[in-house]
């Protein structure tokens, strides 16, 4: 740790901490994201804790704090591996608590062994406790890597629901492969007699570069989330295009609105919900009889639009179209969306024409 140049350590910690903070804000709703966030937090937190303990004047305690944090990070990684491999989310929280308990117990045993009490009792001479803990952690990481890689390959070969899920599984697969290579290298170095707690300058720099790589890879899904929050993804752009027509129709037929909290859903859900509500409103208005010309003289634009809405719908829709209701099949949904988007593009001109006619 001390052999890592500040020119490498500081930028890596700043970038990684920023990514972790962004993930905690934007990606914390699924169990997988929570486990990833916790693992990264414990990893980076261990580095900060190491520096704080050294700064406080307890350098002999710093490696023990760092190992404890690393074991807690590994507990979350193993929990993630088991979750991905078996898909058992119901007992994930209980398993994770058990893994944390094991990590704290192992770390505590190593700390006691190298403490003054352990030296008095000669426990520190029985084994090289740091090496034992490090080897055990590397073995658990290797097992986690196999489980995660197997699960990611299985999911990517199947039908992954969204682009964000595909990015998540792809990132996890790259992480697993990278971790596997690093773990094997670490075990070879330990077998060659190199102390695991003293990897040297090259090893320390390599470890921090890999940490940065991990953080960047798990930041890939953040791009999708940020674009979605800004409404710059494809579904968000469709929602903006449909919104003027949706506002007009739901103002006239408010009973079709499924959920007033539309903005809380993700952009794909918002788009589909808008499609359903627009279609239901069009279907309802299409069945109404035209108002008689004598009843359409009103002075308010909104009221005029409401009174003339059936006529507007008849002008906008073909004889057989989306006003007959949305197709429920996945294959026809794209065609339905395209029809609604085309109607939304024509809607402002049709709306203005109907309002001008009614105001006369």
Instruction: Report if residue 326 sits inside a domain.
Output: yes
Question: Does 353 lie in the same domain as 279?
Answer: yes
For 160-218, write each residue's pLDDT tens digit.
556 667 777 787 788 788 778 877 877 887 777 776 666 556 656 767 777 887 888 77
In terms of residue numbers, what domain contains 297? 231-359
Instruction: Report if residue 1 sits inside a domain.
Output: no
User: Distance between CA 66 and CA 48 in Å, rounded?
Assistant: 9
DSSP code string of 120-144: HTTGGGTS-HHHHHHHHHHHHHHHH
Question: Does 202 lie in the same domain as 241?
Answer: no
Could you tell me the pTM of the whole model? Answer: 0.69
- Cβ atoms of 226 and 245 closer than 8 Å: no
Q: Among 23, 305, 299, 30, which residue's Cα sits nearest to residue 165?
A: 30
Domain total for the chain? 2
As given in the structure block, the two tokens for residue 236 are: 């968000």
Residue with more model confidence, 264 or 186: 186
- Cβ atoms of 16 and 48 closer than 8 Å: no
Question: Does 247 lie in the same domain as 185?
Answer: no
Question: Does 171 lie in the same domain as 247?
Answer: no
Domain termination site, one of 192, 212, 228: 228
User: Distance between CA 108 and CA 124 in Å, rounded?
Assistant: 13
Question: Does 301 lie in the same domain as 270?
Answer: yes
Question: Does 345 lie in the same domain as 245?
Answer: yes
As given in the structure block, the two tokens for residue 88 are: 């058992």
User: Distance between CA 195 and CA 128 in Å, rounded?
Assistant: 10
Instruction: Report if residue 211 sits inside a domain.
Output: yes
Sort residue 227 into left (φ over 0), alpha (ψ -120 to 50) or beta: alpha
For 119-173, write each residue's pLDDT tens digit.
777 776 777 777 788 888 888 888 888 888 888 888 888 765 566 677 777 877 8
């Amino acid at each position: 740790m001390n052999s890592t140049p500040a020119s490498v350590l500081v930028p890596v910690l700043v970038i990684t901490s920023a990514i972790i903070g962004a993930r905690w804000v934007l990606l914390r709703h699924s169990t997988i994201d929570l486990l990833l966030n916790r693992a990264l937090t414990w990893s980076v937190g261990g580095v900060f804790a190491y520096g704080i303990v050294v700064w406080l004047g307890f350098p002999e305690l710093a490696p023990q704090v760092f190992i404890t944090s690393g074991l807690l990070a590994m507990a979350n990684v193993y929990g993630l591996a088991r979750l991905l491999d078996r898909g058992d989310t119901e007992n994930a929280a209980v398993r994770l608590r058990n893994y944390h308990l094991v990590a704290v117990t192992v770390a505590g045993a190593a700390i006691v062994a190298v403490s003054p009490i352990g030296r008095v009792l000669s426990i520190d001479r029985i084994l090289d406790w740091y090496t034992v803990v490090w080897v055990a952690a590397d073995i658990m990481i290797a097992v986690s890597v196999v489980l995660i890689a197997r699960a990611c390959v299985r999911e990517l070969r199947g039908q992954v629901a969204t682009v964000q899920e595909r990015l998540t599984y792809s990132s996890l697969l790259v992480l697993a492969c990278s971790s596997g290579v690093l773990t094997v290298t670490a075990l070879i170095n330990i077998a060659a007699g190199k102390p695991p707690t003293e990897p040297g300058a090259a090893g320390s720099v390599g470890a921090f570069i890999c940490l940065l790589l991990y953080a960047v890879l798990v930041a890939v899904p953040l791009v999708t989330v940020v674009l979605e929050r800004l409404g710059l993804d494809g579904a968000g752009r469709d929602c903006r295009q449909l919104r003027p027509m949706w506002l007009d129709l739901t103002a006239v037929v408010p009973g079709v609105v499924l959920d007033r909290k539309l903005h809380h859903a993700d952009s794909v859900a918002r788009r589909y919900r808008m499609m359903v509500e627009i279609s239901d409103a069009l279907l309802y208005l299409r069945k109404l009889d035209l108002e008689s010309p004598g009843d359409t003289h009103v002075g308010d634009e909104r009221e005029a639009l409401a009174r003339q809405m059936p006529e507007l719908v008849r002008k906008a829709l073909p004889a057989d179209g989306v006003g007959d209701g949305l197709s429920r099949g996945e294959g026809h949904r794209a065609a339905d969306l395209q029809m609604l988007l085309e109607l939304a593009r024509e809607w402002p001109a049709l709306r203005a024409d109907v309002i001008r006619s009614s105001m006369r």
